Chains A and B, each alone.
Chain A
Amino acid sequence: MAISLGFHIIFAVAGIAMPLMMVIAEWKWLRTKKEVYLSLTKHWAKGTAILFAVGAVSGTVLSFELGLLWPNFMEWAGSIIGMPFSLEGFAFFTEAIFLGIYLYGWNKVNPTVHLISGALVAVSGAASGIFVTIANAWMNTPAGFDLIDGKPVNIDPISAMLNPAAFSQSLHMIIAAYAATGFAVAGIHAFLLLKNPRNQFHQKALYIALAIGGVAAVIQPVSGDILAKTVAQNQPLKLAAFEGQFKTEKGAPLKIGGIPDVDEMRTKYALEIPYGLSLLAYNNPKAEVKGLQSFPRDLWPPVAIVHVAFQIMVAAGLIMIAISIYCFILMIRRKKIYNSRRLLRILMLCSPLGFIAIEAGWTVTEVGRQPWIIYEVMKTADALTPMPGLVVTFSSFTLIYIFLSAIVVLLLLRQFRASPEYVDKGNSEP
């Protein structure tokens, strides 16, 4: 399941942000009537279509898989968190309908309706992402029911949806989707610009992708901070694992890097910023941070994995912010980003960073919640299906996803190879 989600998250994230870029390109086309924007729109629309088709089947697999692998979890929790999934179903439906109109309706509906259809695809894609993340947030901070004799009673699906982590987690996820996709697409066009510097097609594409990825990357720390505070409040053990914080102490330092050693109960080789953690988590340099030592050992998540993944996520995010700010400065100075070959090379190398950050963040939140599937309510092991030979199921789903990813990569590569030429007539010499 974790593997399926790990793959699905990539299709889903790209499926959230691609439509936005495609709509921006179309809007530019309608305003400027420059052929290159139309061509860009159509290419990005194809990319969106591929991602959506694969996302649609992988999403179907997931909705069944919930029951195939975790029937007990679904029986227990279905009535509590089915709501966001139902809403997601509608959002997904809207997306499918308007994507159909968008892709095949170029000559069948008028330009405004066409643009609106694209916008609806972008909006409903984002809404799907938000609803699914809300369901995941519920697993971290379960709400909306009372626990009596191990059974949920007094179920209130609305409070379940408004669980403490819902807002911060879905905000963080959505911004991450724009940042990661923006950077990935910018990187690909940067690579193509290195080979073909005068092609306006890639120049325009680079600007739109960077605008989305850059803005998202720069505002991401704000949502990260809100989320970290939510975690500190609701899952102090998880926060301790994020930070590799073994000791319970006042004025805890912020550890950068390092490898937690569970036997020695300390995080080695870390750079420590005094009071940093207390300040970030509780807005107070003297606040007490509960360390792992304050919790029973059998409830610890795999600390090393969580801490290292957390560091990777933060590091990737910081690099993306630095690049975004640099590009922004270039733009203020009225320099063309695509004329700096060094910057193009950096952008190319950084194109997977956002997705690395997302996978790392996913590891942080999922592994960090172990051994629970529903935090402090149900253990992961108790939710598993009684079906024997599950290895077969797990491996076949894994193979399915590897297969799907291979297809997406192959198709997208071929699309990029087929990208058109719009020669820049040299009006942008450095």
Chain B
Amino acid sequence: MTMNEDDIFTTVKTNVLAVLPDLDPDQVTMHGTLTDLGANSVDRADVVTMTMEDLGLVIPISEFQEVHDIASLVALLKRHS
């Protein structure tokens, strides 16, 4: 089943806000990066794991090397959905 990009983004956003609760939800957009939002290396990895779990996906860690912003993260997740 291929998931809708908006649904995937919503899941990513939920997890970003769980990891960084101080953020204004409007700050989390497709165009931003997790680093710019204040996520450290462990926070970023946790957002990925939490989102994979929520979406029921398993993606090899190595594939996340191509991820450089939220848009490319959502694209990778969508490709495996």
- Say if A and B assemble together: no
- A residues bordering B, Cβ < 8 Å? none
